[in-house]
Amino acid sequence: MNPAAVVHAAHRLQGRRLEAVLRETGRRQLREVGVIVDGRAVIIEGRVDTYVLKQIAQESLRPHLRGMTLRNRLVVSPK
């Protein structure tokens, strides 16, 4: 198997695990947040209604990062 394919599969698995962490917060909007693992960085993307939700998303993931950098690209845009 191609080593790059193994790395990408591991990144996808880690991304799915982090998305599960967001779902477990019970905040409906956080279920729609995208999580991308790119090397040693975790990127969260999407739209939320409040800065509080943006912060909840970020802080919910922080304990699971294992030394990776978090890039919070969530856009706050009230409905």
In CATH terms, 3-76 corresponds, of 2.70.70, 3.30.1340, 1.20.1420, 3.40.50, to 3.30.1340
**Cα-based angle 11, 21, 58 (whole degrees, multiple of 5):** 85
CA distance 46 to 34: 6
- What sign for the dihedral angle of Cα 43, 79, 59, 34? negative
* pLDDT higher than 90, residue 3: no
Residue 1 has a pLDDT of: 46
Q: Which of 36, 61, 31 is nearest to 47 (CA)?
A: 31
Residue ranges per structural domain of the chain: 3-76
CA distance 45 to 25: 17
pLDDT in tens, 12-27: 889 999 999 999 999 9
